[in-house]
Amino acid sequence: MSDTPLQVRADDVTVARAAARFICACAHRAVAERGKCIVAFSGGSSPRTMLGALAAEDLPWRQLHVFQVDERVAPQGGGDRNLTQLQEALLGNTPLTADALHPMPVDAADLDSAAHHYALELAAIAGPSMTLDLVHLGLGDDGHTASLVPGDSALEVSDRDVAVSGDYRGYRRMTLTLPMLNRARQRLWLVTGAAKSDMLGRLRAGDRSIPAGRIRGQDTIVFADSTAANERDS
């Protein structure tokens, strides 16, 4: 993955704005080519500023469908739900409508069945190819991405596009799987903070011993602040 473009900015605000502009350009290109744009966003702390910057961009909001890369099995509306962050950033602040935001159904009693139905929902929007236009990914301090964590069975799923993980840091989770993430037309990593520096190096080296290292490097771009990048490519 060392040939993957790396865009470094001074801090988390400027890198978030750069990532938002890239997403905007991707969305317009997808709409021009296919009439709509299907994007999936990860949770975590890093995307919050990016989503805020995205709300100020001139996206083709009426042609946009927003899916989740992953979600914790946690109470609806709480701060532990990635959906809450998406709703607060995009609904009401942009022309995106609630029916164009597709939440992972983690409130269901049967999570495996719910994961299957989320895959069907994706297929209904994306078509038989089940290809997302853009996937936003984050990088954990243990090398995880999405909710694909070291040692979890969801990391090895190859015949499904949505899976359920075991307990990780206090929560079970629903997540897009490696096949779905690697099939996307474009992947965008947003990596901020000095704590991510070591894992960013391993990611860019293509270290497949960490989950993030198993993400396809082609059609992928990394946006990082200077502390995460350790100024290595600035």
CATH code at 23? 3.40.50.1360
Domain for residue 44, yes or no? yes
Model confidence at 162: pLDDT above 90: yes
Average pLDDT, the chain: 94
Does residue 181 fall inside a structural domain?
A: yes
Average pLDDT over residues 169-178: 95
Relative to beta strand 70-72, strand 173-176 is: antiparallel
Place of tokens 């509306």: 77
Q: What is the pLDDT of residue 77?
A: 86
The predicted structure's pLDDT at residue 45: 81
Helices (H), 161-196: 178-183
- Please tell me the predicted confidence (pLDDT) of residue 2: 64
Residue 212 clears pLDDT 60, i.e. is over it = yes
Total count of domains within the chain: 1
Q: What is the mean pLDDT of residues 192-221?
A: 96
Structural domain boundaries, residue 191: 6-228
Instruction: Examine residue 1 and state whether it is found in any structural domain, yes or no.
Output: no
215 pLDDT more than 80: yes
pTM here is: 0.95
- Tokens 């978030």: give the residue: 16
Sign of dihedral through CA atoms 178, 181, 187, 193? negative
The confidence band for 231, taking pLDDT boundaries of 50, 70 and 90, is low
If you compute the radius of gyration of the chain from its CA atoms, what whole number of angstroms results?
16
Residue 233 falls inside a structural domain: no
- pLDDT one-digit tens code per residue, 51-81: 999 999 999 999 999 999 999 999 988 888 9
Q: What phi and psi, each to the nearest 5 degrees, are found at residue 10?
A: -65, -35
